[in-house]
Structure 1
Amino acid sequence: MSDFVTLELHKDPRGFATLWLSREDKNNAFNAQMIRELVVAIEQLGNDASLRFVLLRARGRHFSAGADLAWMQQSAALDFNTNLDDARQLGELMYALHRLKVPTLAVVQGAAYGGALGLISCCDMAIGADDAQLCLSEVRIGLAPAVISPFVVKAIGERAARRYALTAERFSAERARELGLLAEVYPAAELPAQAEAWIETLLQNSPQALRATKDLLREVDDGELSPALRRYCENAIARIRVSDEGQEGLRAFLEKRPPSWQAKPHKEQQP
């Protein structure tokens, strides 16, 4: 996997990858380089057929403080078309993370401001430390959470998104759990161990079924119960029942044994 300056990308031999935000001295704040590197990293992850799922994590005290101040200062001096190019790059990042074929889990600690909420919202699941603080802070500095807004609305609902985007209030991890942005909240000291427990849970599941289920849920979304959607769902279960992993899973269940994908190779220590 490529070398990055603002990120670290580690593949675990058990079959998943962890993408670390790694600008600890800047509280993992976004700049143009980090956005470009995230786009490249997510493309690499999307092309790796061996992956079961991906974790999004951050080094240091904070998940991400949002946009880097120096980068914002530079952006203020740019013309409309150059700012539009920057926005399109951020949009590519959010949409790429959202449509990644494998499940994604964000692990959130400390501050998660501005665009960081976009990353969390684009992941399928997220857990956090109980002392985490979240904020859609853009209006406080004369901006708007434009590119991330579709994903935030999907994650927490339109009414809550209106409140927090218009007030720029900070809200707690527990409030984020109530809104559905975080699935679970844990004491900060327990977060690494709880992340490992989530990893172990996901590793129990069929890699092929994880991908198929993510495709299915993307297709279902919150759409109309149409004849086309019914046919899609019926075909989805028929396809996976006759697949190799579908057959193995059914045999293992009937024979009361673990399926083949639950075999655990030697665990390599993560950096």
Structure 2
Amino acid sequence: MFETISVATDARGVATLTLDRAEKHNAMSAQMISELTQVAAQLGADDTVRVVVLTGKGKSFCAGGDLGWMQDQMAADPETRFTEARKLAEMLQALNTMPRPLIGAIQGNTFGGGVGLAAVCDVAVGVNGLKMGLTETRLGLIPATIGPYVIARMGEARARRVFMSARMFDAAEAVELGLLARTAPSDGLADAVEAEVAPYLICAPGAVASAKELVRTLGPCIDDAVIDQTIRALVNQWETEEAHEGIDAFFDKRKPDWVANS
């Protein structure tokens, strides 16, 4: 049914949702964005599903947005750019509002939009040794549509430490920043995730869903107006000379001019 993701549900109702583009470090293509939106709706509507575990196949959890997809946005007209940015924003909100606990099993490096995927998880556990980073500004872009979720997770003060600089940070700092709840060795990740999953299996599913909805309404507001603001910010940045230079430099395997001239 899906080509870029896979889903398997065990007898307990624990669904494992796996990003399945290992050869591309699970970078989010237009197809993956669409499939994640679809599966969030399906899992959220399935009363047999008690918990969803989000993970990735291969060495990386998610390298962010697929560069080919981003290059397509550089060549697109403004209306198409806005439509594609909205699809990305709606996917994140679909996962964020899914009425099932979402547990992140962050098994590898996580950059750009992948940090957004980790941030929409109710709990994220990462392997020791992974690297994370909001790397968009290296390409002349900004972490726009993921921004509300990242800032809700970190808080503004901690987000400012890494939101604009594209600085890489390790798993321990990700815990300090609030992106990860805790870390585990690679051979202990499954047990650490199971420790987060198990408590939900003795809770009333409807109460869990209602509690999740309540905590979202009590936290930072991420409504249609906020989402539209982030879409406009991303589209506006896509139209800048910096974005074109950053994407072109990546594909040309050269330094962008702001690095080459520094």
Return the TM-score normalized by structure 1.
Answer: 0.78
Once the two structures are superposed, residues 125-162 of structure 1 have per-residue CA deviations (whole angstroms, 9 ceiling, x without a partner) of: 11100111110000000001111101110001112222
Give the total of aligned pairs.
Answer: 221
| Matching residue of 1:178 | 176
Aligned-pair distance for 1:171?
0.7
Once the two structures are superposed, residues 178-226 of structure 1 have per-residue CA deviations (whole angstroms, 9 ceiling, x without a partner) of: 1111111111221123223322233233323322221232233269xxx
* Residue pair 2:152, 2:220 contacting (<8 A) in 1 also: no
Could you list the runs of 5+ residues in structure 2 that have no partner in the other structure? 222-262
Q: Which amino acid in the other structure matches residue 114 of structure 1?
A: G
* Residue pair 1:128, 1:184 contacting (<8 A) in 2 also: yes
Of 54, 60, 63 in structure 1, the residue corresponding to residue 61 of structure 2 is 63
| Matching residue of 1:145 | 143
* Residue pair 1:53, 1:102 contacting (<8 A) in 2 also: yes
Counterparts of 1:27 and 1:216, CA distance in 2: 34
Residue correspondence of structure 1 range 248-259 to structure 2 within 5 A: none
Once the two structures are superposed, residues 39-93 of structure 1 have per-residue CA deviations (whole angstroms, 9 ceiling, x without a partner) of: 1111111111222121111111110111122222222211211111110000100
Counterparts of 1:99 and 1:69, CA distance in 2: 27
| Matching residue of 1:44 | 42
Counterparts of 1:220 and 1:66, CA distance in 2: 29
Q: Which amino acid in the other structure matches residue 141 of structure 2?
A: L
Counterparts of 2:44 and 2:197, CA distance in 1: 19
* Residue pair 1:128, 1:182 contacting (<8 A) in 2 also: yes
| Matching residue of 1:15 | 13
Counterparts of 1:95 and 1:212, CA distance in 2: 17
| Matching residue of 2:158 | 160
* Residue pair 2:96, 2:121 contacting (<8 A) in 1 also: yes
Aligned-pair distance for 1:31?
0.8
| Matching residue of 2:111 | 113
| Matching residue of 1:188 | 186
Counterparts of 1:122 and 1:150, CA distance in 2: 10
Relative contact order higher in (CA < 8 Å, ≥ 6 apart): 2
Q: Which amino acid in the other structure matches residue 126 of structure 1?
A: A
Q: Which amino acid in the other structure matches residue 12 of structure 1?
A: D
Once the two structures are superposed, residues 217-269 of structure 1 have per-residue CA deviations (whole angstroms, 9 ceiling, x without a partner) of: 2233269xxxxxxxxxxxxxxxxxxxxxxxxxxxxxxxxxxxxxxxxxxxxxx
| Matching residue of 2:126 | 128
* Residue pair 1:138, 1:165 contacting (<8 A) in 2 also: no
* Residue pair 2:134, 2:167 contacting (<8 A) in 1 also: yes
Q: Which amino acid in the other structure matches residue 170 of structure 1?
A: M
* Residue pair 1:58, 1:64 contacting (<8 A) in 2 also: yes
Of 17, 31, 34 in structure 2, the residue corresponding to residue 33 of structure 1 is 31
- Aligned to 1:20, the other structure's residue is in SS state strand
* Residue pair 2:103, 2:193 contacting (<8 A) in 1 also: no
What do you get for the CA RMSD once the two structures are aligned?
1.5
Counterparts of 2:41 and 2:202, CA distance in 1: 26
Of 2, 5, 27 in structure 1, the residue corresponding to residue 3 of structure 2 is 5
Q: Which amino acid in the other structure matches residue 156 of structure 2?
A: E
Q: Which amino acid in the other structure matches residue 66 of structure 1?
A: G
| Matching residue of 1:235 | none
Counterparts of 2:219 and 2:135, CA distance in 1: 28
| Matching residue of 1:205 | 203
* Residue pair 1:56, 1:107 contacting (<8 A) in 2 also: yes
| Matching residue of 1:242 | none
Structure having the higher Rg:
1
Percent identical among aligned pairs is 41
* Residue pair 2:110, 2:133 contacting (<8 A) in 1 also: yes
- Aligned to 2:162, the other structure's residue is in SS state helix
- Aligned to 2:64, the other structure's residue is in SS state coil
* Residue pair 2:97, 2:213 contacting (<8 A) in 1 also: no
Return the TM-score normalized by structure 2.
Answer: 0.80
Aligned-pair distance for 1:123?
1.3
